[in-house]
Structure 1
Amino acid sequence: MPHLPSEETAPSNLTDKVAQESSDSTASDHPIHDENKGPVKATAQDHASKGPQIPSDQLPDAKGKDELKAKAAEMNK
């Protein structure tokens, strides 16, 4: 997801704020509606990834089955 600097400076819930400041507003000022007024904290799910992203030009050369079996046999001695 792209990071836009304007997201950091934009006020949260701008339409709610305008509605609450209006003299003929029907917006609620109950404390339960204040839960999303502050900055939103990251959760563990926000940091979940699909693993390391390795560019295809930096991948090692593919090896054949025989080479891999020989290496496994050598390492398992």
Structure 2
Amino acid sequence: MYKESAALTQYCVHGNRLVMGRRKLWHESVNLTLPLGAKARMDSVLNEGEDRLDLIREAIEREVKRRERKRLPQDKES
């Protein structure tokens, strides 16, 4: 049943170091459950060539900045 096969991932050797794949662009990950229909709504507003994850990252960053600005005046008064 078990059949030996070639590795599926190609790799390159640079000097003495083994390098596989590409450099990470995003160092943290989150798995989230979305309400029914959320993916379809996101897909309907994506720009040409835009990735759904780009939309999610941008929305999260914008919301975090908004909340930080909202919190800032309270922190100054303390």
TM-score when normalising by structure 1: 0.25
Q: Over alpha carbons, which structure has the higher Rg?
A: 1
TM-score when normalising by structure 2: 0.25
